[in-house]
Amino acid sequence: VHVAVRDLYGVLHTEAGLNAIIELDVEGSSILTVAREVQRHPVRGEIAHLDFIEVRMDTEIDAEVSVEYIGVPEGVKEEDGVVETLEASVMISALPGSIPSHIEVNIEHLGVGDTLKIADLPDIDGVTYLADEDHPLLTVVIPAAIVEPVDEIDMLEGDEVAISVRVHARGV
């Protein structure tokens, strides 16, 4: 099947992305599909190959959906923690017309040592998360070391300046 690049680009760059429902006209028959297995040219980034899978609007399919983490965790603001993102997307099962473009989850309540799991994602009508509910997505941790510049500057011979750096080891 050959598809006009401009048309394909327009469809795949909507909010639905690869989960957009694409109607293909194949030898006079209309077929509903979604795009899968995109291969891009390594230099130009253009789509070199794309697989389509036929879908029915009344049959669930598996899809990968990005997770959008909202807010700055308390553990980052209050405890000098850092966010460690383990997964940026999740696999779901849903009817083609019910696949969300992304899933938003607020992480402001997370403290150091807290982990966001699949079970913490919002319930969405018609959507089933495929990973185990205990599967971790994001965690807030204390960095292994914090590097802080020291205020004092020691003058050496000539105009050279040495800057001292203090490293504080932190427990994880």
Q: What is the pLDDT of residue 145?
A: 67
CA pair distance 51, 35, nearest whole angstrom: 6
CA pair distance 114, 117, nearest whole angstrom: 10
Tell me which residue has tokens 């509910």. 133
Indicate the residue type of 70.
Answer: I
Indicate the residue type of 125.
Answer: D
List per-residue pLDDT tens for the chain, 172 residues long: 667 667 777 777 777 777 888 888 888 888 898 888 778 888 987 777 788 889 999 999 999 999 999 999 999 999 999 999 999 999 999 999 999 999 999 999 999 999 999 999 999 999 999 999 999 999 999 987 656 665 555 555 555 555 555 555 454 4
Rg (CA), the chain: 24
Sheet strands side by side (includes 102-106): 102-106, 61-70, 89-94, 128-129
Task: Note every long-range contact of 145-153, with CB atoms under 8 Å and residues 24 or more positions apart, other chains counting.
Answer: 145/169, 145/170, 146/80, 146/170
Tell me which residue has tokens 């077929």. 31
Cα 69 off chain centre by? 9
Q: What is the pLDDT of residue 19?
A: 83
Q: Of 1, 7, 56, 58, nearest to 32 (Cα)?
A: 56
- CB 159 within 8 Å of CB 150: no
- The total of other beta-carbon atoms located within 10 Å of residue 110's CB is 23
Q: What is the pLDDT of residue 155?
A: 53
Sign of CA dihedral 108, 109, 112, 116: negative
CA pair distance 98, 93, nearest whole angstrom: 9
Q: What is the pLDDT of residue 172?
A: 43
Model pTM?
A: 0.73
Half-sphere exposure of 91 (CA within 13 A, CB side): 6
